[in-house]
Structure 1
C-alpha cells in the first residue's frame, strides 16, 4: 500500500513534575549510577521542550504526550493502603517508603516506550495502529500502560484513522517495551515499509547468559505485529553482549529511519544480522551503517547514547539528506565525536548534519533524545484528525514552559516524595495543564473521573 503526503511526526513525552532519580531500572546503567541524587524537574522539562523547539525550527512537525498522573495512588490502594489520598501517602512513607518512588516515577517521559506504532501504509486495514507497551520488567513502568492507552485515545481518538489497542498480556512470555525495540524501515514515508522487531529473549534463550533482563520478547513482538495487521515484519535478536553491557533496549545500540539502519558492531550476532538484512533487502534498498567497536566501544556508545540520537530525514522527507539529533554527551566523548565528524565527510551514507541537544536531566536517568519521542508516520488527513491540543508550535511551547515554571520544583529528592504538600503541588499542576490545553471536558487523567 502507498499513501501520499506522509510525514514522520515526533510526539515527545512532556517530562512531569515528579522527575526524580530513584534508580529503579535494572540494566539501565545511568539510572543506577545516579540513584538517589537530587534531580531538577523544572530544568528537565524545559530541556525537553527546547529539544521539541529545535525540531520545529528545523521545519519538522512536532507533537507531545502529556505526563501521566503521578503518583498513581490506585497502585498503592491495590497494595493495601486505604483512606484519603494524603493518608495513603503518609502511610506508605511510614510503612513502605520504597513504594513511593515507584508510584511517583516520571518514566512515561520516555515516549519511545509508550507504544509500538504501525503506519497505515503497513497495516492491513489502512489505519495507524498503536499498542501500549506493558513494560512488565520493571514495576515503576509496568503501571503505565492503562494511562498510556487513555492518553493515546485522547490524542488519536478518531477511529476512522487510528486504532489504539490494549497492551498485550502482562505475562513474562509477552514482555513488551514498545517502539524502543521496533524500527520502521521504508523507501519513503508514504510507501509500504517493513517493521523490524528486535527482541532480547525467546523461548530458546539461555537466560543464564544474561546479566540484565532481556526485556523485549519475540512472542510480544509477534503479538503486536498480529494486532496491527503488519504486512511485513522481520525479527532480529539482540546480542547478549549488548544487553549485558547495558543496552536494555535496542535503541541504545541501533537507530533506523527510511532505508538506513545504523547499528553498533556488537548490537546483534553477526550471522543473525546478515540473515535479517538479506530479508530486508528483498523489500527495500536497505543501507546499513555499522559503527565498529574499534572506533566506538560498546561502553562509549552506551555512555554517550550515540544510537539514542534521533535519525531524521530532511524536513521535506528527503531520505538522502538525513540528520542526527544527538545528546551533547556525544560531542563531549572524543571517540564518538570523531566518528560523527568522519561520518559527515562520508557521502556514501546519507547523514549530512548533526544537532547536539542538552537533555542532561533525562540522560542522567537513562534516556536520550530518541527515548523521549514516539515516532508516528501520518498522512495530511491523519494529521488533521489528531487532537490539536497535542500538536506544537513555538507559541505553545512558550505556554508549556510558562506552565512548567509556575509549577515545577528546581530540586527534588527521593525523600521529598513523602511530603504531602508535594502531592498537592503535583495535582494542582496537572489540573492547570488540563486548563492550559483546553481539555476540561475530556477524561485525560483518572482523577477527572472521580
Structure 2
C-alpha cells in the first residue's frame, strides 16, 4: 500500500559550523562556533523516533564519506590557505535530505513509477560534490525498477536544490496530486538557488501531467530575508498548504491556480501582521514537518525555537483553538541542526511508496534505532571546534565512525 515515508538524514560525525551557505542566516551567524556532532545525531534520531510514535513510516539516509579527499584534489586545495575549501570537503550538509532529490510519486507519473531526480546543488560549492554519493545511495534504497526510477541531476547550468523547493497537494498521499515547483529569480543580496528550468526539466523527466503541475516564483523578499529554500516559508501535506503571506511573488495568483488545479485544497496562511517574515525565518515555523498520522489528525512538527517565539507560539495556539485542518503541534529539539540553518523539514525527504518495495536496510525500527543510538553515543565526536577541521586524527575517527555505522546496518557497499 502506498504511504508517505520520511527519510531523515542521519547527522554525520563531521557536523561543524563553517558558515559556508550564503543566504542561510543561521549558518552564517553561527560560523566558527563549536559544534556537537554526537548531540546533533542523537537529536535527529529522537525526532525519527517521535515520528514512529505517531505511527508514521520512517526511513533514513546515511552520512556521505567525509572529508571528501577526492574533491579537495580536484580543486587543488591548499590545506593551510584554502580553509573554506577544506571546510567544504568536511561538510555534513547531506544530513538535510530535503535537498537530496525531487520526488514524484507513482500516482502522478506517466509510467506509474515513483521518480527521483538527484539534486545538483551547484549554487554552493560545499554541496555541489554531494550528488554522486547521494545518487549511489538512492539507487540502492530504491533499486526495484518496477516501482522506482532514479535519475542523474539536471545539467549543471541549471541550479537544482531538490525537494526543498517542491510541494505536493492531493486528497491523500496515494491519490494523484498537484506538484508545485517553486523557483527564484532574485533574492536581493543572496542567490536564488532554484532555477525555473531545472524544475521544468525534472517535471518532464518524471512524466508529469501538465494539468497537474504548477510553477511558482518565490518572493524575492523572502529570499532576501533568509528563505534560501521555499521550505523555509511554506510546506504542504495532502490537501493543505501552510504558508507565510510573503512566501510567493504572487500569493493571490498562486492560491487561485492551486484551487483551479486541485479542488478541495486548503490554504492556511500566516499573515505578516501576526508573524513577521524575519520571525518566521528565525523560528523556522514553516520548516516544519506537516504530516498525517494514522489517527487522521494532521500534525505540525516544529522546532523548539517556535515555542520560544512569542508571536509564533501565540499564532499556533490560536490556530489550534480554531477549526482548521491542522489539529496538533508537536515540538522537537533539533538545536544543533537549527544552528546550521536546518529545521525538521530540512532533515527529511518525503517519498510516497509501498515500504515493501524499499530496501529494508533503509527503514527504521526500534531495534535499529537502539543500535544506532548506542553506536553514535560511542563513536561520534562529542564536539568539533573550528581549528579541528582539517585534522588528520579527527578525519580518521570520522571515517571509523561512519564505517562502523555502515557495518551495523549491513551497508558496507557504500563505504
TM-score range, shorter chain: over 0.9
Match of 1:329 among 305, 310, 318: 305
Contact 2:36/2:382, CA 8 A, preserved across alignment: yes
Equivalent in the alignment of 2:406: 434
Distance 1:94 1:273 in 2: 48
Q: How far did residue 95 of structure 1 move?
A: 4.1
RMSD, aligned α-carbons:
1.2
Equivalent in the alignment of 1:356: 331
Equivalent in the alignment of 2:237: 257
Contact 1:416/1:422, CA 8 A, preserved across alignment: yes
Contact 1:154/1:444, CA 8 A, preserved across alignment: no
- After the TM superposition, which residues 278-427 of structure 1 pair with which residues of structure 2 at under 5 Å, given as runs? 278-282=256-260, 283-315=262-294, 318=296, 321-347=297-323, 349-379=324-354, 383-427=355-399
Match of 1:72 among 35, 58, 68: 68
Q: How far did residue 277 of structure 1 move?
A: 2.4
- Give structure 1 regions of 4+ aligned residues with deviation exceeding 3 angstroms: none
- After the TM superposition, which residues 32-43 of structure 1 pair with which residues of structure 2 at under 5 Å, given as runs? 32-43=28-39
- Is 1:141 matched with 2:127? yes
- Is 1:27 matched with 2:9? no
- Is 1:50 matched with 2:46? yes
Distance 1:234 1:123 in 2: 15
Q: How far did residue 233 of structure 1 move?
A: 1.0
Instruction: Report the 3-state secondary structure (helix = DSSP H, G, I; strand = E; otherwise coil) of the residue aligned with 1:196.
Output: strand
Q: How far did residue 80 of structure 1 move?
A: 3.0
Distance 1:434 1:394 in 2: 18
Equivalent in the alignment of 1:86: none
Equivalent in the alignment of 1:235: 215
What 5-or-longer segments of structure 2 have no aligned partner? Answer: none
Distance 2:80 2:328 in 1: 52
Distance 1:304 1:217 in 2: 26
Contact 1:236/1:273, CA 8 A, preserved across alignment: no
- Is 1:444 matched with 2:411? no
Equivalent in the alignment of 1:102: 88
Aligned residue pairs: how many? 412
Instruction: Report the 3-state secondary structure (helix = DSSP H, G, I; strand = E; otherwise coil) of the residue aligned with 2:102.
Output: strand
Contact 1:71/1:105, CA 8 A, preserved across alignment: yes
Instruction: Report the 3-state secondary structure (helix = DSSP H, G, I; strand = E; otherwise coil) of the residue aligned with 2:31.
Output: coil
Distance 2:62 2:52 in 1: 18
Distance 1:131 1:52 in 2: 24
Distance 2:122 2:322 in 1: 41
Distance 1:296 1:434 in 2: 43
Instruction: Report the 3-state secondary structure (helix = DSSP H, G, I; strand = E; otherwise coil) of the residue aligned with 1:94.
Output: coil
Instruction: Report the 3-state secondary structure (helix = DSSP H, G, I; strand = E; otherwise coil) of the residue aligned with 1:17.
Output: coil
Contact 2:103/2:163, CA 8 A, preserved across alignment: yes
Contact 2:105/2:114, CA 8 A, preserved across alignment: yes
TM-score (norm 1): 0.90
Distance 2:293 2:80 in 1: 53
Distance 1:79 1:179 in 2: 28
Distance 2:133 2:87 in 1: 18
- Residue by residue over 1:166-205, the C-alpha shift from the partner in whole angstroms, topping out at 9 and shown as x without a partner, is 001111xx1111100000110111110010001112xxxx
Equivalent in the alignment of 2:114: 128
Equivalent in the alignment of 1:9: 5
- Residue by residue over 1:84-129, the C-alpha shift from the partner in whole angstroms, topping out at 9 and shown as x without a partner, is xxxxxxxx42242322110000000001011100000001111111
Equivalent in the alignment of 2:101: 115
- Residue by residue over 1:412-450, the C-alpha shift from the partner in whole angstroms, topping out at 9 and shown as x without a partner, is 01211221111111111122122101123xx323xxxxx
Distance 1:26 1:99 in 2: 14
Q: How far did residue 403 of structure 1 move?
A: 1.3
Instruction: Report the 3-state secondary structure (helix = DSSP H, G, I; strand = E; otherwise coil) of the residue aligned with 2:67.
Output: coil
Instruction: Report the 3-state secondary structure (helix = DSSP H, G, I; strand = E; otherwise coil) of the residue aligned with 2:192.
Output: coil
- Residue by residue over 1:304-339, the C-alpha shift from the partner in whole angstroms, topping out at 9 and shown as x without a partner, is 0000110011235x3xx2001100000010000000
Contact 2:13/2:381, CA 8 A, preserved across alignment: yes
Distance 1:385 1:45 in 2: 27
- Is 1:277 matched with 2:255? yes
What 5-or-longer segments of structure 1 have no aligned partner? Answer: 82-91, 202-206, 446-450
- Is 1:183 matched with 2:179? no
